[in-house]
């Protein structure tokens, strides 16, 4: 995940380079349930409104949470399917908060209603991210449910009324790029705290529908508008969080933008980006699926590292006898093709390995989603 707004602040108000703090443990994205009331075209969990047998029981979830705390995991992102369909979501969330985790909820927002908003507010999630993949009909078509845009907006507004930090996650494809300016406008109209641009990743239905991925030229235009919006929000003192996911080449593209627009800040921003170090799958980002399988990140559901019913998460995560984990944790990673020869490996860290694996059947091949031109990486 590339924290664009953080680096935009470095452009406007540089801060000294300090030795970076090593995270205490990985951020864990936990798909507690696979059931969902929507069936989005791109969904990596291939969710639907059916029961998926064999999911972790409450007692097992609590045992895993204890292990995660002992392993110093700082952040739990509770996801699904739709996490609000989990019968124990509030009990799990409350316990996680009491254990000291930073707890975020990743929801489609349609099930945040006047009936449950008080309980949601009382839990004290540090952040609620709601997916919005366009405005009105665009979103409803993408998410394959009429009325879902209106329901998600109602959910977001309820969160804002209760003072909960809330924002939107937008997954970019050819189908919804045209709505991008309106999505940025929505941030202003609704006074939202965070915008997450998610590039399409090739997992589940997102892999089946990967032909819908935005073309490179389109992605570059969208990134340019995001940079301008982020800069304008910073200048207005709004300090919104703007982050991007599933394409660490965004950081390199941003560096080129800085070189072009703020050349005297480029060296500083480059040093800060090198400290960040790019893609963190298998290192500082982890995933546990609904069945308890552990993956290097959410888009590797076709590749299990182990199951928390057999082995503790903390053991699975440290075990580099798995070749994928060994490669992901290596610095530099054993990259090939364009990624192997890229000048900015230290910033991007080889981007999204699952796309390479899905296209070339080799996780170390170049990421086919890198939209940088050859002369920008040479």
Ligand X SMILES: C[S@@+](CC[C@H](N)C(=O)[O-])C[C@H]1O[C@@H](n2cnc3c(N)ncnc32)[C@H](O)[C@@H]1O
Three-state DSSP state, 351: coil
Dihedral angle of Cα 264, 265, 267, 271, to the nearest 10 degrees: 170
Of residues 52 through 81, those in contact with ligand X by CB under 6 A are: 79-80
Selection from 271, 284, 275 nearest residue 329 by Cα: 284
Work out whether 108 is an interface residue with ligand SF4 (CB under 6 A).
yes
Using DSSP bridges, classify how beta strands 102-107 and 75-80 pair: parallel, antiparallel or unpaired: parallel
Work out whether 203 is an interface residue with ligand SF4 (CB under 6 A).
no
Q: Do 132 and 149 contact (CB within 8 A), yes or no?
A: yes
Bin 259: left if φ > 0, else alpha if -120 < ψ < 50, else beta.
alpha
Of residues 107 through 126, those in contact with ligand X by CB under 6 A are: 107-108
Work out whether 82 is an interface residue with ligand X (CB under 6 A).
yes
Report the b/e string of 176-206 with b at 16+ CB within 10 A: bbebbeebbebbeeeebbbbbbbbbbbbbbb
Three-state DSSP state, 66: helix
Q: Which does 282 bind (CB under 5 to 8 A by kind): ligand SF4, ligand X, none?
A: none
Taking the CA atoms of 149, 152, 158 and 160 in sequence, report the sign of the dihedral they define: negative
Work out whether 47 is an interface residue with ligand SF4 (CB under 6 A).
yes
Q: Which does 155 bind (CB under 5 to 8 A by kind): ligand X, ligand SF4, none?
A: none
The set of residues, in sequence order, having a beta carbon less than 8 Å from that of 304 and lying 6+ positions away, is: 293, 294, 295
Of residues 80 through 99, those in contact with ligand SF4 by CB under 6 A are: 80-82
Question: Could you give the C-alpha distances from 315 to 78, 190, 262, 296, in angstroms and in order?
Answer: 21, 43, 45, 14
- Using the rule CB under 6 A, give the single segment among 95-103, 105-113, 236-244, 288-296 that binds ligand X: 105-113
Q: Total residues contacting ligand X (rule CB under 6 A)?
A: 20
Three-state DSSP state, 114: coil
Q: Which does 107 bind (CB under 5 to 8 A by kind): ligand X, ligand SF4, none?
A: ligand X
Using DSSP bridges, classify how beta strands 127-131 and 194-199 pair: parallel, antiparallel or unpaired: unpaired
Work out whether 352 is an interface residue with ligand X (CB under 6 A).
no
Identify which of residues 44 and 233 has a Cβ nearer to ligand X in the complex: 44
Q: Which does 39 bind (CB under 5 to 8 A by kind): ligand X, ligand SF4, none?
A: ligand SF4
Work out whether 279 is an interface residue with ligand X (CB under 6 A).
no
For the bound state, the minimum distance from the C-beta of residue 264 to ligand X, rounded and expressed in Å, comes to: 36
Identify which of residues 31 and 352 has a Cβ nearer to ligand SF4 in the complex: 31
Q: Total residues contacting ligand SF4 (rule CB under 6 A)?
A: 12
Work out whether 37 is an interface residue with ligand X (CB under 6 A).
no
Length of the chain equals 378
Rounded CA-CA distance 166/158 in Å is 10
Identify which of residues 203 and 278 has a Cβ nearer to ligand X in the complex: 203
Work out whether 86 is an interface residue with ligand X (CB under 6 A).
no
Q: Pattern of binders to ligand X over 171-190, x per CB under 6 A?
A: x-------------------
Residues of this chain that bind ligand SF4 (CB under 6 A): 36, 38-40, 43, 45, 47, 80-82, 108, 143
Residues of this chain that bind ligand X (CB under 6 A): 36, 42-45, 79-80, 82, 106-108, 131, 169, 171, 198, 200-201, 203, 206, 246
């Amino acid at each position: 995940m590339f924290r664009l707004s953080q680096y935009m602040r470095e452009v406007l108000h540089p801060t000294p380079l300090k030795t970076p703090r090593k995270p205490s443990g990985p951020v864990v994205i936990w798909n507690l349930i696979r059931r969902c009331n929507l069936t989005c075209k791109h969904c990596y969990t291939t969710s639907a409104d059916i029961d998926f047998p064999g999911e972790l029981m409450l007692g097992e979830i609590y045992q895993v949470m204890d292990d995660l705390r002992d392993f110093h995991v700082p952040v739990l992102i509770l996801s699904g399917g739709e996490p609000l369909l989990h019968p124990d979501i509030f009990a799990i969330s409350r316990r996680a908060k009491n254990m000291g985790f930073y707890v975020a909820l990743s929801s489609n927002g349609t099930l945040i209603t006047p009936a449950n908003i008080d309980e949601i507010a009382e839990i004290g999630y540090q952040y609620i991210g709601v997916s919005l993949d366009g405005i009105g009909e665009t979103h409803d078509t993408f998410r394959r449910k009429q009325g879902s845009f209106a329901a998600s907006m109602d959910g977001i507004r309820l969160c804002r009324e209760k003072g909960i930090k809330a924002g939107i996650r937008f997954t970019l494809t050819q189908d919804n790029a045209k709505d991008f300016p309106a999505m940025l406008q929505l941030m202003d109209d609704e006074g939202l705290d965070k915008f997450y641009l998610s590039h399409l990743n090739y997992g589940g239905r997102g892999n089946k529908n990967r032909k819908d991925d935005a073309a490179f030229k389109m992605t570059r235009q969208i990134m340019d508008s995001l940079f301008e919006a982020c800069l304008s929000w910073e200048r207005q003192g709004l300090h919104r969080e703007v982050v991007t996911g599933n394409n660490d080449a965004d950081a390199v593209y941003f560096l080129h933008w800085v070189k072009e627009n703020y050349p005297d800040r480029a060296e500083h921003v480059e040093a800060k980006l090198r400290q960040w170090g790019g893609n963190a799958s298998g290192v500082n980002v982890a995933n546990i699926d609904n069945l308890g399988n552990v993956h290097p990140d959410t888009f590797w559901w076709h590749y299990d590292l182990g199951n928390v019913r057999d082995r503790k998460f903390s053991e699975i995560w440290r075990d580099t006898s798995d070749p994928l984990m060994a490669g992901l944790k290596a610095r530099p990673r054993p990259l090939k093709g364009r990624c192997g020869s890229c000048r900015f490996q230290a910033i991007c860290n080889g981007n999204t390995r699952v796309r390479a694996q899905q296209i070339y059947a080799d996780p170390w091949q170049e990421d086919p989603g890198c939209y940088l031109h050859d002369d920008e990486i040479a």
